[in-house]
Amino acid sequence: MPELEAYFHYRYLDVSTLKELARRWKPEILDGFKKQGTHQAMDDIRESVAELSYYREHFIKL
């Protein structure tokens, strides 16, 4: 478990928080990203990373 724990940090980033901000502040952004919804752990992780990348590029523009 220590090897797994090394990947985590106390500053977690919640992608759903960014999604909610986009929904309220710039709702048209939500049309550009759709999850597949396979509900497999690794697929969900990859989709969340892709979603974060999308919001970074189109919403917060970093």
Report residue 47 as tokens: 């989709």
Question: In this structure, are residues 32 and 44 in contact, taking their beta carbons and an 8 Å threshold?
Answer: no
Query: From the candidates 7, 10, 12, 54, which is the catalytic residue?
Result: 10
CA angle at 47 for the pair 53 and 15, rounded to the nearest 5°: 60
Q: Is 12 a catalytic residue?
A: no
- Active-site positions read 10
